[in-house]
Chain A
Amino acid sequence: MSDEVFHDPNVPQEDYLSGLRLARRDFLLKSGLAAAAIAAAPTWLQSEQAAAAIKASTSVGAVRDPIAANAVAAAKKHSGFSMGRVNEAGPQALDDKNFSGPLWEKLTGIKTNLTEAPFAQIRTKIITENLAKSGALDSVEVSPAWIPDFADQGVILPIDALVRKNKAQATVADLHPLYRALARYKGKTWGFFDDGDVWALYYRKDIFANAKLKAAYKTKFKRDLRVPRSWDEFNQVAQFITDQMAPKVYGTGMGRALGNPGNQFYFFQQFRANGGRFFNPQTMKAEIANAIGVKTMNQILLQNKASPPGVEKLDFVSGWGLWLQGKTAMIMAWPPTGRISENISQRDKAFSFLPKSQIVGKVGYARVPGQNGEHAGAFIKCVMATSENQDAAYLYNQWATSPSISLQRVMLPYTLRDPYRISHYRSPAYKKLWKGADQYLVTLAEAANDAVLDLSMSGAGDYANALDRAMTSMYAGKDVKEALDEAAREWDSITRKLGVAKQRASYANFLKYPGATSKNTIRKLGQAIKV
């Protein structure tokens, strides 16, 4: 890297966006073309991955995956059934459309009737269908944070008896220990975990290796430039890079738009790394507006300061756009970031909404500063209690999440499913996807060892929304303490409404999960996985 990385004061700050405008146009054009191409040419049958999945589901001997094969054998009696599914709109749904859905139909004769919805509206859709008792949905994607509400209100079925009946107990042993716990609630299993959504830090190796930048950093801070290990260091490094390189490159830049991806994730992550807890477990008074909360918010605001202009309204995918075009030096994000950085996903037309990566081979992986990355969102495959064919829905879930089939699914170029099984992290096939994939898998496993979980308790959606709103008001200039006090009052009001005693029990249950706080992560419980 040459001198050109340094800031040219004659370039207006927003001129760096010319590339992004093209990306947007590119997105609009290509997404239309992609939809047509995908609908017209389902080439999944030719794919190596589909062949491997079929082999694992039907063969005998070493390649046979008994969990997948048992599910297929048992599901054949439901041939002709049309199974209602809901999945996240866009790339995630392509799994159902292009891979799992056609494959399952070929193997069992069960058709998939897919409904697509944006992440937050999946919850809405499931609740609506449950209230209406329509029976339209059979197998559904449920975020772990929704499990307590869905289980308590009888929306989803516990599957322990079905797991025993279909001899699928072994499927759990291969999960990363963090994910083994997430489908459990009140002593029962509510579905099959299916998406390792842990956040990690993705950084530009070339920028951190730049000699001039390193020298300038050392001169200014009297220590070496390195990948940040604490939040204060992250802010310092991000601001330093911005000061030196903007508008060509900014230190960081993550989508902060209201509800997209949901600012609570950022707060939850850093607040607990800073030692915070959400409630007083006895009184259930919210504790987000204390000194730790204020410190966390101020750190987040400093990240915005080191980011490109307008980041407060940038959605998550636009944040990816900046990253892929080399406009940001570090981002904290979901695992697909590693794949899209190497253009693995953009090989597929479905991903043409993202620009081609200009940073191939330049990306390094690390745990987020403070080490405790958020396990944000994710999915568990569950069976709707109102399903008219619960057995078929369960068997599909067992098959799709079995070790062999799930490995193929997390390797699909399209979709956003992320590795979550120990066998995924160790898979030789995955490691061959790109140079550095082995390090990527090691980082994901390590990140899961230290991960903290989304708040998963009754009313989780309400608490998250109140915090998300408060954070966007702070981005717009509201006083941090005042906005956090307001959010805390709103949390207290939600708690009162749902019942303090009920919420106390629900929070106590949440605290039992590994990763509920930074003090009881998988690593601190002595269950860390080495890959």
Chain B
Amino acid sequence: MDRHIRWLLVTPAVLIVIALTIFPLGFSLWVSFVQYDFTLGPEHPWVGLDNFVENWKDPVWRASLWRTVWFSLSMVAIELVLGMLLALAMLRPFRGRRALMTLFVIPLFISPVVVGGFFDLFVRRPYGIANQLASWVWPGTVTIDFSNDSPWLYIVLIIADVWQWTPFMFIIILAGLAAIPDTLYEAADLDGAKPRQSFLFVTLPLVLPVVLIAVTFRLIDAAKLFDIIFSLTRGGPGTDTYTTSYYLYQQGFEFFHLGQGTAGAWMFMIMLTFVSYWLVRRLLKPLEEAA
């Protein structure tokens, strides 16, 4: 009897997981192997790998992949450096520390779409004040089209993402730094270590697992960059700021080439899985070695 009740109790949860996760996943896998395209009609004949090949043959898809890679890497690298510097600066108590920390984390609570909209208003000519601000620090009148001219539009996109997500790095790294016992620094001090050596040989090795966690989360998240692109450039000019997520959104939900869009999403997910797997392996390596 107890055994039956046990199964009865877990059944709703299992059904929900099947309905909300397994079924959509299975359905999307089927969609990626059939013709599922609004403009091609209501029939769904089996097309094998055609949808995957269509994506791979599309130069816009390939360019969006590379752009996603270098966007993610550069954004996360800058966020890591800035987050680390901020965390180190905020580690020791000082007057106004709490207020500053509160200010630093505010961008985290803002929707990325709003961040994109905010930066759009900031840089877009003729309304934005970016040129005016630049003119204060640069000789002459600055008239850069920040949201249209290369490389400025990439710089703006990266700054927008860095502005929003550096606080995430900062908080995680700060937690990692705060967990390092003071006794280790005292021991290093007694051994005659200079501050730089303490940082390199005490702080960094101990904070590294936490940094890896933060980098893993951020890389996976940055690889899905969509919202800021959507509200700031809409992928333009041309397809110059298409990321993979934006490309897939457009294929699926603007053109309704659902087969191709879904196949692309699977390809992208598999690529991301490999990256995540590699990062998690790196993350677990010290623990496995310790065991």
Contacts and interface: CB of A to CB of B under 8 A. Distances in A.
A431 interface: no
Contact of B38 (A14, A17, A149, A309): A149
Measured as residues with beta carbon below 8 angstroms from the partner, the interface class of chain B is 20 to 34
A462 interface: yes
Interface string A424-462: 000000000000000000000000000000000011011
Given A14-B141, A127-B256, A476-B240, A313 B39 contact: no
A241 to B, nearest CB: 18
Interface string B233-256: 111111110000000001001111
Given A472-B237, A476-B149, A458 B39 contact: yes
Interface residues of A, number: 42
Q: Which label, helix, strand, loop or mixed, suits the secondary structure of the B interface?
A: loop
Nearest to B141: A12
B183 to A, nearest CB: 55
Contacts of A499: 40
B197 interface: no
B140 to A, nearest CB: 10
Contact of B237 (A312, A461, A462, A497): A312
B141 A498 contact: no
A377 interface: no
A469 B239 contact: yes
A308 B127 CA distance: 12
B143 interface: yes
B150 A476 contact: yes
Contact of A462 (B233, B234, B238, B255): B255
B57 to A, nearest CB: 9
A470 to B, nearest CB: 6
Contacts of B41: 152-153
B39 A483 contact: no
Contacts of B96: none
Nearest to A476: B237
B238 A469 contact: yes
A475 interface: yes
A184 interface: no
A24 B40 contact: no
Interface centre among B127, B238, B254 (most CB of A within 10 A): B238
Contacts of A135: none
Nearest to A469: B238
A365 B125 CA distance: 29
Nearest to B233: A258
Contacts of B26: none
A174 B148 CA distance: 46
B126 A462 contact: no
B237 A475 contact: yes
A124 interface: yes
Contact of B125 (A153, A313, A470, A472): A313
A472 B38 contact: no
Contact of A258 (B127, B145, B236): B236
A465 B255 contact: yes
A465 B250 CA distance: 10
Contact of B254 (A120, A153, A309, A459): A120
Interface in B128-177: 131, 141, 143, 145, 147-150
A124 B254 contact: yes
B127 A483 contact: no
A308 B149 contact: no
A313 B42 contact: no
Interface string A250-294: 000000011100000000000000000000000000000000000
A80 interface: no
Contact of A149 (B39, B125, B131, B145): B39
Contacts of A476: 148-150, 237-238, 240
Contacts of B150: 476-477
Contacts of B40: 497-499
A152 B42 CA distance: 10
Contacts of B238: 469-470, 472-473, 476, 478, 483
Interface in A294-342: 308-310, 312-314, 318
A309 B143 CA distance: 9
29 contacts: A14-B125, A24-B127, A120-B254, A124-B253, A131-B256, A152-B41, A153-B39, A257-B236, A258-B233, A259-B234, A259-B236, A309-B126, A310-B125, A310-B126, A312-B145, A312-B148, A318-B127, A465-B254, A465-B255, A469-B236, A470-B238, A475-B237, A476-B149, A476-B237, A476-B240, A477-B150, A478-B238, A497-B54, A498-B40
Given A120-B254, A462-B255, A469-B236, 18 more contacts: A13-B141, A153-B41, A154-B42, A257-B236, A258-B237, A309-B125, A309-B143, A310-B125, A310-B148, A313-B124, A313-B125, A461-B255, A462-B39, A465-B250, A475-B148, A476-B150, A476-B238, A477-B149
Interface of B: 38-42, 54, 124-127, 131, 141, 143, 145, 147-150, 233-240, 250, 253-256
Q: Which 5 A-B pairs have the closest CB atoms?
A: A310-B125, A473-B238, A258-B236, A476-B237, A472-B237
